[in-house]
Structure 1
């Protein structure tokens, strides 16, 4: 196995310290994009509801400012005035213009958030298990074999995506946040549930943590024979690849990854890449190489986002590049039913076309990818196609994953609806109800 300290010296000498930009920098940054004062005000109004955070790497390396505000990476990270209903934006803009008290602005923003389905798929009601004296903070157990854990110190990201379905984690409302800080409690739960073979650390982004903090969560799991894999959901490779190349604890972090692999576990990086430009910087190539050299596997996933990547050529290019770099294409997701879904959603019929037209042009090595997939209340529902059966046009679907494991992989049908963007928009075909409703 390649030692973790052999990165190219020229690459390691180019690192810059991480610098975050938040809502207080919006006027400065949106002026750079050419927004008028009224457009800047509307952007700040949206940012009172939805979170905004980016960093110098995204601003200087990924955004094409000559194309802003239409540049896809700009739209990926900066709030847009039409992400929220016009009446809500107008009301919030008026409060900001009048310099209303902070409490009044926060109350108005809270009211808007509550209309945006901050916790889809029953996350707070259905997924949090009881154990010992009560619910386990920061844990979800939706599928038998997989537990999700939200480390308290990982409840932010190097930059926020405007489409993020976890947006409620970042808006400063304690009742909307999932976070845990008890690695021993996680371990005890796993020992009591031998059916669990995989733990997924998510957030936020677990890779926002330094090596000593992440080690607190990983080390207690390494001697659990039941665990086959440890997964880390992260956007860090796209938004701050320096984490694995030039950050002060980069080498220590990679040594820890080696330790996980040497314990006999599959260490899987569930890396989010939403646009091909995120794959272009040389520092990203070096970060991918260093992570892979530890024995970890990088699997890639992203949602299909209108105005950003709703083009088969974009996905084909990403999958080809990822495969060439040694990463494994994993999922194309449907934008979830939360936050500014109306702004980003792509109809399911179009989503299937985008997936199919990209999938047919890549080799079998890239056809590890699945989709378009909806992470809905019953499970992960995949759209397999549009066809006509007995004179009726229908969607063919199946459950990639399900709360009821007996339903995994079984096909079912829904009436074709060209406007449907989510599972709840569909009606069953050839049956009175969907399989999980039986």
Structure 2
């Protein structure tokens, strides 16, 4: 485990409740200031002093990708919904009235896409195991109760429903035994992904409570442990100078030493998140434990819809020893109309960036849609029978027999998601819809 020479940084969190204490916030134009206050009632706001002070260019916040990534924007709501909220806000109505209107809007925003509630939650003796998801044969997702928050909320996040304070919308499990029992009963599972929120926001002591039983009891056929996290981008001091940073690194050492593959599935949305000395040191320290870092993010309009951003990001990841892993299509949830990029444009951006990096960065896959039937790759734009088509394939699927199977859809420049596409060649349905 490598030593660190980074100076400690005191942590300060900002939420909707104390957003006005951010010095730079008060300096924003009144229109932007008011819009953030209003939209944050629907799409929750959270950030910290590292994000505010070291990642955002406050000389031009309106043009800054990290500002748009973290601070709610007016365009995230429809004109109708924004006007309704604004009227309540300006009238000085009680908070309960404003919250009720926010809840109404949230329920319209597809809070759990791709069948997460209906299809992904496993059952034991007829009872749903809240806090687990099992969509793909090999991989189980686990949502530890204490990890259902983040150091900052990405405005595009498809897990935004975890953060709005509605228990019926939240996945969470505080019982490590429930996970162990499920893994023992399902030997087909080889990978456990701890997710959230962000599991690495938990203290090392609490994280150990969930991980240690796997190391000691080795349930089923588990070979890999993954942590889905944005902590590297939003608070790298977690791995460096926080009071239990060394404890976390010791836990990583133990996971690798016990013979498990440890993968930190890190979300980097823009290359700026890879440029501070703290994040570089944190990446180095994680890799020194024998873990690897795989990087993924969605393609999001206003933030990274430029092939040059992805080229630089992938090259920086490789230079730090991390592995470019996925470019996702923004999911059909939350403020999707504000962030979505048409599929044909996503394919162009990916291809242009991909063509400019070396083979070491071409480990990345995309653009990929995590849709109800599985992860669908936009594999190309081609012409067959004199007509333009999208070439698509599953790189992961509910039914393993679909994996790597090519299929085609009519070319449509307005399509932003799988449900917008029609089968090619006059077919009435796609093969997987049966």
* TM > 0.5: yes
Show CA shifts across 1:6-36 (max 9, x none).
Answer: 223xx1xx11121100113334549647533
Q: 2:84 is matched with which residue? A: 91
User: Residue 377 of structure 1 is aligned with which of 372, 378, 396?
Assistant: 372
Q: Does residue 1:184 correspond to 2:177, yes or no? A: yes
- Matches of residues 140-179 of structure 1 in structure 2 within 5 Å? 140-179=133-172
With structure 1 as the length reference, what TM-score do the two structures score? 0.96
Give distance in 1, aligned partners of 2:126 and 2:393.
37
Query: Is residue 409 of structure 1 aligned with residue 404 of structure 2?
Result: yes
Distance 2:139 2:26 in 1: 43
SS at match of 1:69: helix
Partner of 1:266: 261
1:244-279 Cα shifts (integer Å, max 9, x gaps): 001000001000001001111100000000011100
| Residues in 1 aligned to 2:383 and 2:36: alpha-carbon distance in whole angstroms | 45
Q: Check conservation: 2:19, 2:25, Cα contact below 8 A.
A: no
Deviations 1:93-117 (A, max 9, x none): 2212222112111110000001110
| Contact residue 75 and residue 162 of structure 1 kept, 8 A | yes
Shift of 1:313: 0.7
CA drift at 1:418: 0.4
Superposed, 1:210-221 pairs within 5 Å as 210-221=203-214
Please say if 1:7 is aligned against 2:12. no
Measured against aligned partners, the alpha-carbon deviations of 1:88-140 in whole angstroms (never above 9, x if no partner) come to: 11211221222211211111000000111000001011110001461111000
Query: Gaps spanning 5+ residues in structure 2: where?
Result: none
Aligned to 1:309: 304
Taking a change above 3 Å as real, the CA distance of residues 101 and 212 of structure 1, as seen in their structure-2 partners, is same
Q: SS of 1:54's equivalent?
A: strand
**Cα RMSD between the aligned structures?**
1.3
Q: Larger deviation: 83-92 or 375-384? A: 83-92
Determine the structure 2 residue equivalent to 1:423: 418
Structure 1 unaligned spans of 5+: none
Deviation beyond 6 Å, 4+ runs, structure 1: none
Contact 2:62 2:68 survives alignment (8 Å): yes
Q: Deviations over 1:200-258 (max 9, x none)?
A: 01000001100010001111112236111011000000000000001000001000001
TM-score (norm 2): 0.97
Matched position secondary structure for 2:408: strand
Aligned with 1:284: secondary structure? helix
Q: Does 1:237 align with 2:216?
A: no
1:24 is paired with a residue of what secondary structure?
Answer: coil
